[in-house]
Chain A
Amino acid sequence: MMTRCLFFLCTFFLFQGLVFSAPAETKKDNFLQDIHLRLMGRTFPSFHATWLPNQDFNEFEVHESVLGLDAGWSHYVGVSLRFEILRSAQPQSLFGIDGDSYILRLQRAWGYARYYLWIGWLEGRFGLIPDPWIDAVRPHYRMRGLRALLSESGDFFEQSDLGASVHFRALRGAIQVGFSLTNGEGLNRAEQNNGKNSTVVLSILPLRFLKNPLKLWGDNAEISIHAAYRDGSIGTGSARNHRIATAATFTSRHLDIGLEYIYAMGWSNLADRVADGLGVWARGSFGTRWIGAFVRYDRQNTNVEIEEAIRQRVSVGLYSDFLDAQMFQGNQRFRLYLAYQYETQGKNAMPLPGVPQVAEAHRVMVLLSIYLDARFNHKPLPHS
């Protein structure tokens, strides 16, 4: 009870403090001039053919589409909304809307308030907020269209959850610390227990300590290192759902390299199951935006206490950027992937322990990764 009261008070005073600490010099008639908007969208239509040992199938699909709106006043307060479009029925479910139609659902909706404190920005968020780990690593991963981070696709982290978070970005974002308190049930469920998931994330972008940005073939480069710990529980039964995660990335216009590792204490509703996951990726263009190559490798151990419970996936392919430009003050991208994926698993991994061949799959896909981002009256966050 004490913890909850403390949380209510902290949230209330943090937001009050942040909002009232916005600069007083702004005149009332300048108010409208300080409003900024951002409209964004991403969609990944694809055609893929899958070969399982006993089935093959091909289909057109849109596996992720997101529409977003950010609105804010100056740098200090604002709101962020994301809507995603997805199939209405879960896999294997026959309960959908008008069959299995695409439906729109709220993916994220949060209000924020910021305050510049000494050396950086302190930001509080409240609502359906992004998971701080995903929020920290995803901007440094640029192949989402092809496949989400293993942190998400391996059921280690949910992309968003109801709760509140505090973020501190210091020294042009060279050091970032995020702390969130959320329900822990993710996007699909309301709260099921009284425990709250708490996650702390530390990100260091060492190149931002330099006086001059590092250039690679004429373009800015970025290195990021992240670490996170989550104390979590899930479901009415409060099954343990803790995580330790780390990631390191190098990003530039022509070359990306990255690695993520997640250690799960409690996974997939099994409180005593220890699982882990390793994702590695690399992308490079051949000196032109028209052609590049990528590789991604995911290795997920679904039970570290027994042998051969590992699932692996390799993705390789080529891509071409038809559009990769700064327009409307935002980043626009229109990328075409041609990918091959191979999935395999160990003898004791799910879904049929003892029969690893069941999950072996080959897949070829053509995928369009489209990002649109239009900003109005956008002013970069100072020191960001």
Chain B
Amino acid sequence: MPIKQTQSFSPTLCKMAFFGGLLFLVLLGVCVGCSSPSLEPRDAYLRNLLIEDNWPLLRRIPEEMDGKSRRLLEEKLLLMSQEMYAYFRGTVIVYLRDQTMLYGNTTPTAFGSPDSSYIGLVGDPHPENIGTYKAIDGSQRIDFNDFDAAMYGPFIFDVRRLILGYWIAAQKVGLRPPEKAVQDALASSITGAYFDEIMRLKEGGAPYLFRPSRQHGVLIEDMFARAKRDGDANEDLSDYTRIQDNKRVMFHGVVEADTNGIINDRVGPLDAQEERLLREILRIYPTSLLKPSLFPKGYFTWKAASQRFGSGVSSYPRLRYYILVEGASASLDDDILLEVKEVAEPPSLPGFPLFPKQTFRDNAERVVWIQRQLQEDAEDDAFLGNVSISPMAFRIRQRIKYQKNFSVSRFLEKYQEKKWRAEDLRIFAQEAGKLLARTHAKAPTLQGGKGLEVIAKLLEGKRERFIQEQEDFIRRYGPQTQKDFQQLSHLLDRYGALLGYQAAPWTSSTR
């Protein structure tokens, strides 16, 4: 093939430029339409984010012969599509991305500063993540109890998430007129209480404590009462274990019947690999306790274990196990049930650089450390601990009915029976505003200070503006979340149980 050495191009310049341009135009024509973009931008966004949020589990699908991860993920999305509050609980990533990208009808905030943008956050504060504890000193308390999404970030993200949670709860309940007006008042109740509590603490007031009494309203009172009743009865042990031949063994089966294809409460046996993993976790776990000296030698001796299915929404497909240990004596009555839960990454907050980049060694350490910092004190849960068996990380706590969550479904039931009123929900929201304020006030900042100093500085003298901004936020973003929820069912109908995600069939074990 001879290659002609051309000396001058000038005579052919026009021709060549024309040829190049023509080729460009032809290729341009070929380009258009190959990518088949989705017609509805918000739909594409929701699908992509929900896939991204579940990415680590989706990647397990081709590895598993029994299809367990696929089934659990499908059930999670189904659950989110069936119930608006479940949708809200499973989409913290959508909420956070909307806030940072100014997308989905959300609004900017005037209440932020560099200092207040790196506070230890609950990450996902909402009514069902508020629950009771029985602390080391025996006192009953109320606190946030789910720190899976805990991270450093702007305090306003927590405030708005809490408001959104109550708005969705009220929407689910379907408040009747004239009580419908309470739904609009939830934002101002939370924000006002939050503001007042921050200012009170700034002036040297003692932190607001939640103890069994009537002052916190009917809903909190109910939580305390149920926790005491079921905790004293040691109900978890009777639910998840049985006594056979004078030995306590794990129960395997359905504890609470499934509804609409969603597991409510089921426990199953472990395979050999899982048992090895759990025994290793149990060996390491005592070193992570706040006060290991509280537990005598032999306290955490292995007795039995099971795998739990059907708990949470975000963490529905995550690994969750119960380990039965000996407790203080050989008696069967003081056996202890530990819950071991796999902890995943929190949703990322792009654009908030952390120095140092990795403040924690693993995600379980992150969750446990922040929980101890943010709760009333680190002694809410004596059994709280964390273990990392790379690449997985687990949070461990006692499975006991002294820890009882608020339940929107229970409120709905009581509301329909006319035993509880919308006003009770508003009072609970107000108390939650105080709880969040107390939590933020003692939260560590990345720079080493406390949240109270930086938040109080921002809010001072701006009560009405603060309330108004959050009212405006929920007026716009609440209906957007409802619309997104309704859209999820359509997306599942149209694209299938995993929103169109397809695990490449040639990867991994099937290759």
Q: Identify the A interface with B (CB < 8 A).
A: 3, 21-23, 50, 52-57, 89-96, 98-100, 116, 119, 168, 170-172, 174-175, 177, 179, 181, 184, 190-200, 202, 204, 208-209, 211, 227, 229-242, 266, 268-273, 303, 306, 309, 347-348, 350-355, 357-360, 382-383
Contact (Cβ within 8 A) B35 A198: yes
Shortest beta-carbon distance, A234 to chain B, in Å?
A: 7
Q: List, in ascending order, chain A residues with CB within 8 A of B8's CB.
A: 211
- The docked-state distance in angstroms from the alpha carbon of A91 to that of B38 is 29
Q: Is B65 an interface residue (CB 8 A)?
A: no
Contact (Cβ within 8 A) A239 B44: yes
3 nearest CB pairs, A to B: A351-B351, A354-B108, A237-B47
Residue of B nearest to A360 (CB): B114
Contact (Cβ within 8 A) B100 A270: no
Shortest beta-carbon distance, B336 to chain A, in Å?
A: 29
Between A192, A273, A355, the greatest number of chain B beta carbons within 10 A of the residue's beta carbon is seen for A355
Contact (Cβ within 8 A) A177 B27: yes
Q: Is B259 an interface residue (CB 8 A)?
A: no
> What 19 new A-B contacts, CB under 8 Å, besides A197-B35, A208-B9?
A57-B355, A57-B356, A94-B366, A174-B9, A175-B17, A175-B20, A195-B37, A200-B31, A202-B20, A231-B33, A237-B43, A237-B44, A237-B46, A237-B51, A239-B37, A240-B35, A353-B100, A353-B108, A358-B112
Please provide the chain B residues from 146 to 168 with a CB less than 8 Å away from any CB of chain A in the complex.
151, 154, 156
Selecting from B396-404, B423-431, B496-504, the interface stretch reads B496-504
Q: List, in ascending order, chain A residues with CB within 8 A of B330's CB.
A: none
Contact (Cβ within 8 A) A352 B10: no
Shortest beta-carbon distance, B118 to chain A, in Å?
A: 7
Contact (Cβ within 8 A) A202 B24: yes
The B interface is mostly helix, strand or loop, or mixed, namely loop
Shortest beta-carbon distance, A101 to chain B, in Å?
A: 12
Shortest beta-carbon distance, A307 to chain B, in Å?
A: 11
Q: List, in ascending order, chain A residues with CB within 8 A of B45's CB.
A: 237, 239, 269-271
Residue of A nearest to B97 (CB): A269
Q: List, in ascending order, chain A residues with CB within 8 A of B356's CB.
A: 57
Q: List, in ascending order, chain B residues with CB within 8 A of A209's CB.
A: 9-10, 13
Shortest beta-carbon distance, A192 to chain B, in Å?
A: 7
Contact (Cβ within 8 A) A236 B499: yes
Known: A350-B101, A353-B108, A354-B108. A382 touches B3 (CB 8 A): yes
Known: A196-B35, A237-B38. A352 touches B154 (CB 8 A): yes
Shortest beta-carbon distance, B239 to chain A, in Å?
A: 33
Contact (Cβ within 8 A) A92 B348: yes
- The docked-state distance in angstroms from the alpha carbon of A77 to that of B13 is 29
Q: Identify the B interface with A (CB < 8 A).
A: 1, 3, 5-10, 12-13, 16-17, 19-21, 23-24, 27-28, 30-38, 41-49, 51-52, 99-103, 108-115, 117-118, 151, 154, 156, 345, 348-358, 360-363, 366, 390-391, 393, 446-447, 495, 499-501, 504, 507
Contact (Cβ within 8 A) A54 B118: yes
- The docked-state distance in angstroms from the alpha carbon of A202 to that of B3 is 24
Contact (Cβ within 8 A) B504 A233: no
Residue of A nearest to B47 (CB): A237
- The docked-state distance in angstroms from the alpha carbon of A168 to that of B27 is 12
Q: List, in ascending order, chain A residues with CB within 8 A of B43's CB.
A: 237
Contact (Cβ within 8 A) A100 B358: yes
- The docked-state distance in angstroms from the alpha carbon of A119 to that of B9 is 10
Q: List, in ascending order, chain B residues with CB within 8 A of A57's CB.
A: 355-356
- Selected contact of A229 from candidates B10, B31, B42, B102, CB within 8 Å: B31
- Selected contact of A355 from candidates B1, B21, B113, B362, CB within 8 Å: B113
- Selected contact of B348 from candidates A90, A229, A269, A273, CB within 8 Å: A90
- The docked-state distance in angstroms from the alpha carbon of A200 to that of B154 is 42
Q: List, in ascending order, chain B residues with CB within 8 A of A190's CB.
A: 504, 507
- The docked-state distance in angstroms from the alpha carbon of A89 to that of B156 is 27
Contact (Cβ within 8 A) B100 A350: yes
- The docked-state distance in angstroms from the alpha carbon of A192 to that of B109 is 35
Contact (Cβ within 8 A) B501 A192: yes
Shortest beta-carbon distance, A229 to chain B, in Å?
A: 6
Contact (Cβ within 8 A) A211 B16: no
Contact (Cβ within 8 A) B109 A354: yes
Q: List, in ascending order, chain A residues with CB within 8 A of B391's CB.
A: 95
- The docked-state distance in angstroms from the alpha carbon of A122 to that of B321 is 60
Residue of B nearest to A174 (CB): B9
Contact (Cβ within 8 A) A240 B366: no
- The docked-state distance in angstroms from the alpha carbon of A231 to that of B31 is 6
Q: List, in ascending order, chain B residues with CB within 8 A of A309's CB.
A: 102
Contact (Cβ within 8 A) A100 B10: no
- The docked-state distance in angstroms from the alpha carbon of A237 to that of B355 is 34
Contact (Cβ within 8 A) A357 B114: yes
Contact (Cβ within 8 A) A55 B118: yes
Contact (Cβ within 8 A) B1 A21: yes
Known: A94-B360, A351-B352. A269 touches B48 (CB 8 A): yes
- The docked-state distance in angstroms from the alpha carbon of A271 to that of B33 is 15
- The docked-state distance in angstroms from the alpha carbon of A268 to that of B1 is 47
Shortest beta-carbon distance, B25 to chain A, in Å?
A: 9
Contact (Cβ within 8 A) A177 B20: yes
- Selected contact of B31 from candidates A170, A198, A350, CB within 8 Å: A198
- The docked-state distance in angstroms from the alpha carbon of A383 to that of B446 is 58
Q: List, in ascending order, chain A residues with CB within 8 A of B504's CB.
A: 190-191
- Selected contact of B36 from candidates A23, A116, A177, A194, CB within 8 Å: A194
Between B3, B34, B495, the greatest number of chain A beta carbons within 10 A of the residue's beta carbon is seen for B34
- Selected contact of A200 from candidates B28, B51, B111, B349, CB within 8 Å: B28
- The docked-state distance in angstroms from the alpha carbon of A108 to that of B24 is 25
- The docked-state distance in angstroms from the alpha carbon of A239 to that of B34 is 13
Q: List, in ascending order, chain B residues with CB within 8 A of A229's CB.
A: 28, 31
Contact (Cβ within 8 A) A193 B36: yes
Q: List, in ascending order, chain B residues with CB within 8 A of A236's CB.
A: 47-48, 51, 495, 499-501
Contact (Cβ within 8 A) B44 A50: no
Q: List, in ascending order, chain A residues with CB within 8 A of B390's CB.
A: 98
Known: A54-B114, A270-B45, A270-B101. A192 touches B35 (CB 8 A): no
Q: List, in ascending order, chain B residues with CB within 8 A of A93's CB.
A: 345, 348
- Selected contact of B48 from candidates A54, A94, A197, A237, CB within 8 Å: A237
- The docked-state distance in angstroms from the alpha carbon of A354 to that of B391 is 38
Q: List 14 A-B contacts (CB under 8 A).
A: A55-B118, A170-B19, A177-B20, A179-B27, A193-B36, A235-B52, A237-B499, A303-B102, A352-B112, A353-B108, A355-B109, A355-B114, A357-B113, A360-B114
Q: List, in ascending order, chain B residues with CB within 8 A of A233's CB.
A: 35-38
Q: List, in ascending order, chain A residues with CB within 8 A of B345's CB.
A: 93-95
Contact (Cβ within 8 A) B41 A272: yes
Contact (Cβ within 8 A) A238 B31: no
Shortest beta-carbon distance, A123 to chain B, in Å?
A: 14
Q: List, in ascending order, chain B residues with CB within 8 A of A354's CB.
A: 108-112
- The docked-state distance in angstroms from the alpha carbon of A237 to that of B45 is 7
